[in-house]
């Protein structure tokens, strides 16, 4: 498939996990990719995988909590790859903690990455699309926890609800400029993040290692854990021309866990 030929996409949090899967899929679909993360070594590895697929790749080591670094990454993508068409605000962290015990430091950290990082990405992409006088796609990471809040990850859930709110508001504000804004909402994806979540539950509840992950997987109607490729298929659709009439949506892609 080459639905993204000639397009340039930036993917934050793309050194591993879902972000890596998204970057590779968009490259497979014909896009050149700007990879943004704080893990320089892993970024280089993903860039090599993209180039092996015959697409261009460039890397930026940046912290998405810093607005100026996000804007600079978008400028770098345009300058280095010759355009800018798709922004994927994928970077995020999980946090397992009972709400009654959450500290200000914990709250500040997760909101600065999961919410502020998405807002800076929306701002930077919108400014670039407008400056270039072109249409564009902004796609951000929400979660099933952005539709239903879950015990022990209440603050994480709050950040993902916030991404849905930003997505809806930005879609309304930017539609007249030809910019669509959507989000993807994965479920239980077999990545390092879920290893961290499982370990966090084990620490708080005394569950055996792997038990929480297994419990949540058993609740998936399609009978298996999600993969980064499953998520990337949806993001590819949201990045491509077939979704041009779709905006303001936070789409569930979870194998059948949360139903709307």
Catalytic annotation on 184?
no
Cβ neighbour number for residue 135 with a 10 Å cutoff: 12
Q: Active-site residue among 156, 213, 216, 237?
A: 156
Q: What angle do CA 128, 75, 35 make, to 5 degrees?
A: 110
By annotation, the residues acting in catalysis are 156
């Amino acid at each position: 498939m080459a639905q993204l030929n000639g397009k340039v996409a930036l993917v934050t949090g793309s050194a591993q996990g879902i972000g890596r899967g998204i970057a590779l899929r968009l490259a497979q679909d014909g896009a050149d990719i700007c990879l943004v993360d704080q893990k320089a070594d892993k970024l280089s590895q993903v860039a090599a995988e993209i180039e092996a697929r015959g697409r261009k790749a460039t890397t930026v080591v940046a912290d998405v909590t810093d607005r100026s670094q996000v804007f600079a990454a978008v400028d770098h993508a345009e300058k280095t790859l010759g355009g800018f068409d798709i922004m994927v605000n994928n970077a995020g962290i999980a946090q397992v903690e009972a709400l009654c015990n959450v500290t200000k430091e914990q709250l500040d950290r997760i909101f600065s990455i999961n919410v502020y990082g998405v807002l800076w990405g929306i701002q930077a992409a919108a400014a670039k699309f407008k400056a270039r006088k072109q249409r564009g796609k902004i796609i951000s990471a929400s979660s099933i926890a952005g539709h239903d809040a879950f015990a022990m990850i209440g603050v994480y859930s709050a950040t993902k609800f916030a991404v849905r709110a930003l997505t809806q508001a930005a879609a309304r504000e930017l539609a007249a400029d030809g910019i669509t804004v959507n989000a993807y909402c994965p479920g239980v994806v077999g990545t390092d993040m879920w290893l961290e979540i499982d370990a966090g539950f084990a620490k708080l509840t005394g569950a055996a290692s792997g038990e929480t992950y297994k419990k949540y997987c058993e609740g998936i109607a399609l009978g298996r854990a999600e993969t980064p490729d499953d998520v990337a298929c949806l993001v590819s659709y949201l990045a491509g021309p077939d979704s041009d009439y779709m905006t303001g949506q936070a789409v569930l892609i979870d194998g059948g866990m949360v139903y709307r």
